[in-house]
Each structure stands twice: as structure tokens, then as C-alpha cells.
Structure 1
Amino acid sequence: MNAQTLFQYAGVGTTVIAALVMVKAVWQINTAKVWKEEAEAQKTRADRLQQDMQEIKERLTRIEAENQRLIELLTALDPARVTTLRTQ
């Protein structure tokens, strides 16, 4: 085997190794993109759920205030009935 043949094999081997490195790099980049997109989707979902939870809390606060006002009105109209309803 002469030097020229050896260099040809080395050139082919280097090309194959470079191609494998490029394929690995592309695969890693694509994997990172997929994970980044998934993380962004989960963050968007979490933000939406947080907003929904805040809305539910606000609605509950309004309902509790309205119930308290209704109890006050009912108590003003018929205190005995309120006492009876609370003991049941």
C-alpha cells in the first residue's frame, strides 16, 4: 500500500466522520427545537390555567359576597327563619 492509497482512504474516512458529526449535530438541534417548542406549549398552558384559576377565585369571592348580602336581607326580613335554616 503506497502513500497515495493511504491518503485516499484517510480522505474517505474523514469525510464519513465529518458526515456523521453533521448528522449528530442536526439531530441534536432538532431535538432541542422539539423540547423548546414543548416547553413553550406547557408554559402557555400553565399561564392559561393560572388565568382561569384567578377568574374562578374572583367569581367565588363575588358569590360569597352576594350570599352574605342575601343572608343579611333574609335576616332583616325574618330572623327566626334564618335561625331555623342554619340549624338544619
Structure 2
Amino acid sequence: MTPTDIFGFAGTAASVVAALVMVRASWQMNSAQVWKGEAEAQKTRADRLQDDLNEIKDRLTRIEAENRRLVELITTLDPSRIRSGL
């Protein structure tokens, strides 16, 4: 095998390795973009769920206040009904 043949094989091998490195880098970049997109989607979902939870808490607070007021009214009108379980 002559030095020219060796350099020819080495050049071909280097090209194949470079191509594999490029393919791997491209795959990792695409993978990173997919994960980034998934993370953004999950954050959007979490934000929406947090907003829903806050709305539920606010509604519950209002309902509890209304119930306290209704109990006060019923107690004022007929306290015996509260003791008997309405």
C-alpha cells in the first residue's frame, strides 16, 4: 500500500466521520428543539391550570361567604331550624 492509497483511505474515513458528526449534531439540535417545544407546551398548560385553580379558589371563597350570610339570615329568622339540621 502506497502513501497515496493511505491518504486516500484516510481522507475517505475523515469524510465519513465528519458526516456522522454532522448527522449526530443535527439530530441533537432537532431533539433539543422538540424538548424545548414540549417544555413550552407544558408551561402553557401549567399556567392555564393555575388560572383555573385560582378561579376555583375565588369562587369557593365567594360561596363560603354567601353560605355564612345565609346561615346568619336563617339563624335570625328561626334559630331552631339550624339546630334541627334545616
Taking structure 2 as the reference length, the TM-score comes to 0.92
Q: CA RMSD in A?
A: 1.1
1:1-88 aligned within 5 A: 1-85=1-85
The alpha-carbon deviation at position 44 of structure 1 amounts to 1.0
Consecutive unaligned residues of structure 1, counting only runs of 5 or more, are none
What code does the residue aligned with 2:35 have?
Answer: W
What code does the residue aligned with 1:85 have?
Answer: G
Consecutive unaligned residues of structure 2, counting only runs of 5 or more, are none
Secondary structure, aligned partner of 1:85: coil
* 1:42-73: CA deviation from partner (whole Å, max 9, x where unpaired): 11111111111111100000000000111111
**Count of residues in correspondence between the two structures:** 86
Taking structure 1 as the reference length, the TM-score comes to 0.91
